[in-house]
Structure 1
Amino acid sequence: MKKIIALLMVVLMMMSVSGNVFAAESNLSGNIPGTNIDINNFKQKSNEMGINAKTQKKLIEKLQKGNLLDADNPEKYTNKVKNALTLTDKDPIKEHTFNDGSKVVVSITPEVEVNQRAGIAAIDEPDRARSCGSGYCRYYSHRVKKETGTVIMAFLADFTINNGAYDYITQVWDETASGFGGTTSTPNLRLLQKKETSYGRANARLETTFTYFAGGASTDMTLNLYVGRDSYNVY
């Protein structure tokens, strides 16, 4: 009788282990528990950004606890981080890895088609999306973009770099914002400061609210383009 009971206990334990494995495998689909973020999309995007499986696990656990990833937390964008995201014509895409392992990728790249109002036809290479002269460069229809593991935000901008003089943003348009699960509010794009002054750089900002966590909890997301000091950066 004792042997039978022992055998039954072993069988039950095996069933329990199998059930846990099945549950773990099932959890690979749907949302990250406690959030509105699709786990498969999150993992796929993390892989594309070069975030390894061990770090992905830590980030998912952080989200499950109701904490923002550093890449989505405006308070983590210190001056050091912002300076690291300064872009150039030769280096139009940059990424930064935060202390928790999350990443942000920012870029300014020309669209395949440049708006006809700029007086430039369809382009096949970046140099045709800008017009440079003595001490200045004008950039037409450049896509300003920010990507994290959870959100992608972007808009188009025309801006000018004047070496030794004030830089400026001519206009911004065609804003988009989307998340990997959950919802984003209608993106709000504003040209906050058109021209650089002695007090600050020209600035365009895209804002959206993302329902990051389950139960309606949300967080504000921003994408900034700063033009000034003969350079431009995005964060």
Structure 2
Amino acid sequence: MKPEMLPLAKKEVKTTPTSRETRYTFPDGSMIIQSVDGGTTSCGTGYCNFTNMTVKETRWYCEGRFQADFTLVNGGDDYISRVYDAQVWSAGSISDVSLNLTKAWEDLNGPAEAVLRWVAYNGVTSTTYILKLKVGGNNYWDECNY
């Protein structure tokens, strides 16, 4: 979907204490589904650990996902401790897959961040996809390019 189409999309967000899903439905019926869910949550006094969480972006022609462990600290800096098991799928060929923990700790400049990046080629054009996990402000969410 082209970036200029995003304002035309219907956005639905579903959250629970242990998951978040954002679904964009476009006028042509196509969808982008982003989610952070699964895994195990363990909370104590002032913190919640999330382990083996799946961060995922799904479109009709491709999907990217990875696992992440992160911690929300009440009154402190949230952090991502580990990202692993990147998987991508596309209707065409895939190259340049990378998963990086680009910023482990939340700070005054913004949230902690992990990035999965891949290039999909459909036989005519190639597109770079970026899926991010962000952790900060006692919350977590994912972002992707459109």
TM-score by length of 1: 0.54
Output the CA distance in 1 between the equivalents of 2:83 and 2:6: 23
Q: Which residue of 2 aligns with 1:141?
A: 52
Pick closer, same or farther for the CA change 1:218–1:85 going to 2, 3 Å.
farther
Computed over aligned residues only, the root mean square deviation of the Cα atoms, in angstroms, reads 2.5
1:104 CA drift (Å): 1.3
Matched, 1:183 2:93: yes
Rg larger in structure:
1
Displacement over 4 Å in runs of 4+: 75-78, 83-88
Q: Give % identity.
A: 31
Q: Tell me which of 19, 25, 31 is aligned to 1:103.
A: 31
Matches for 1:1-235 after TM superposition, within 5 Å: 69-70=1-2, 73=3, 87-89=15-17, 91-98=19-26, 101-111=29-39, 129-179=40-90, 181-212=91-122, 214-215=123-124, 217-235=125-143
Structure 1, gaps ≥5 residues long:
1-68, 112-128
1:184 CA drift (Å): 1.2
Q: Comparing both structures, which one devotes a greater share of its residues to strand?
A: 2
Structure 2, gaps ≥5 residues long:
none
1:109 CA drift (Å): 2.1
Map Cα deviations across residues 168-193 of structure 1 (whole Å, 9 max, x no partner): 000100001111x2111142001110
1:162 CA drift (Å): 1.0
Task: Tell me the matched-pair count.
Answer: 141
TM-score by length of 2: 0.83
Q: Does the 8 Å contact 1:105/1:147 carry over to 2? A: yes
Q: Comparing both structures, which one devotes a greater share of its residues to helix?
A: 1
Q: Does the 8 Å contact 2:79/2:106 carry over to 1? A: yes
Q: Does the 8 Å contact 1:85/1:233 carry over to 2? A: no
